Amino acid sequence: MSADAASTSAPVPAAASLPVPVTGWGRTAPTAARPVRPGTYEEAVAAVRGCGARGGIPRGLGRAYGDAAQNAGGTVLDMTGLDRVHAIDADGGIVLCDAGVSLHRLMEVLLPLGWFVPVTPGTRQVTVGGAIGADIHGKNHHVSGSFSRHVLSFELLTADGTIRTVSRGTPLFDATTGGMGLTGVILTATVQLLPVETSLMSVDTERATDLDDLMARLTASDHHYRYSVAWIDLLARGAATGRAVLTRGDHAPLDALPARTRRAPLDFRTRRLPAAPAFLPEGLLNRTTVGLFNELWYRRAPRARTGELQRIPTFFHPLDGVPHWNRVYGRGGFVQYQFVVGHGQEEALRQIVRCVSEHRCPSFLAVLKRFGEADPGWLSFPVPGWTLALDIPAGLPGLGALLDRLDEDVAGAGGRVYLAKDSRLRPELLAAMYPRLDDFRALRAELDPRGVFVSDLARRLAL
């Protein structure tokens, strides 16, 4: 393996003596916690041993939407100080890195060598530790599964201060992948990568007239694409309910590039727009403004276009180009709601889409995807079927009752909600959604009897 000694870490500050407000990316329900940012493994061990009575929870770049990386009255372990890429097997496509390394950093390092991260969500501002803890998924789940499928092993700092090497196929591996940081602090990970010839994507785009048309298109031809996602208009009603723009693609081969681009086929460039203002008027995203946006977005999309070359940030992470885009929802923040229902439960999906549409939820970031085979993580979210994610301003009247109703519909259909995005699920529904919950609780009680690792999410759902 060839070493890459570069590090993106800043000098490690001393632990803060006073608690500071902490929120998820949705900017709802802030709680105060004491931040500690270890810069070495020894400092991480000391931080875990010094968490205090309210315990601690590891945190990466803060992109969990809800309260998974919050810990009211306790400690939050900021793992971004551990961000070294230790070694790269450029022949076999394996990287060994710290858990605080971001997917953005991995792309910068690995793409010039002809390798890409195996799974990326809608943002590259996620740490490797966070990717494992949430067992993230992307547009390629129907082909590649979740992030944990590509993790060969990781080092885990457990509650007793021990650093353990955890391999695939063990109970501790399956409890940690999707375990939301509650089994310990991931320090390093060894990940299998995806070979690519270029840093461009070959993209096909088409419009679907309604939800049934969309599901038919996805079912008929998703297997031809590595990546597939549909933006869905949840304000459309009547015959247009569930109309969508379907975008699918794969990594472009070298011979698909124009001659001028072939000179640097693995060039990885990102573009940043001005950050969203710190303060925006409340109610900026309402049914009128979002309805107009959705209409324009749908109409401007091509009815059918094939082979368009797009850069990786454009295809995977368009919102990363707008720093602090979550501010557009105003001070009240927003709720990101994501659920999955299995194949054969299409009527449940239709019912939920109709319900959201009839409620006139102003969501402009709603996406529908198909999941493939599940991975073994006990609290891992994906199961084979349909997943819908939508954003909703937190101040929408009647939102709590609406989401409670959707939770019941999802659970009744044998589905589940995504814990990395959740901020309000009722705990009595959790066992129905996650059948390995008792196994997770039992292993956690054995591994961490004093409750060193804890979060607002864990307290709320009695994890």
Q: Mean pLDDT in runs of 10 for the chain (463 residues)?
A: 36 58 96 97 97 96 97 98 98 98 98 98 98 98 98 98 97 98 98 98 98 98 97 96 98 95 92 74 83 94 96 96 91 95 98 96 95 97 98 94 97 98 96 98 97 98 96
Q: What is the pLDDT of residue 4?
A: 39
Residue count of the chain, please give it: 463
Q: What is the pLDDT of residue 255?
A: 96
DSSP-derived secondary structure for 5-17: --B-PPPPPPPPS
Q: Is 259 exposed, middle or buried (0-12, 13-18, 19+ CB in 10 A)?
A: exposed
- At 189, give phi and psi (nearest 5°): -145, 145
Q: Is 349 exposed, middle or buried (0-12, 13-18, 19+ CB in 10 A)?
A: buried
Q: What is the pLDDT of residue 270?
A: 87
Q: What is the pLDDT of residue 274?
A: 77
pLDDT digits (tens, 9 = 90+) for 22-61: 999 999 999 999 999 999 999 999 999 999 999 999 999 9
Quick one: which of 219, 247, 227, 215 has its CA closest to 353? 215
Q: How far apart are CA 64 and CA 423, in angstroms?
A: 10
* Helical H segments across 177-285, by residue range: 211-221
Q: How far apart are CA 97 and CA 160, in angstroms?
A: 23
Quick one: which of 177, 182, 161 has its CA closest to 453? 182
Q: How far apart are CA 420 and CA 67, in angstroms?
A: 8
Q: How far apart are CA 221 and CA 440, in angstroms?
A: 37
Name the token pair of 190: 């060894």
Name the token pair of 78: 């900021």
DSSP-derived secondary structure for 192-208: E-EE-S-SEEEEEEEEE
Q: How far apart are CA 429 and CA 373, in angstroms?
A: 23
Q: What is the pLDDT of residue 5?
A: 33
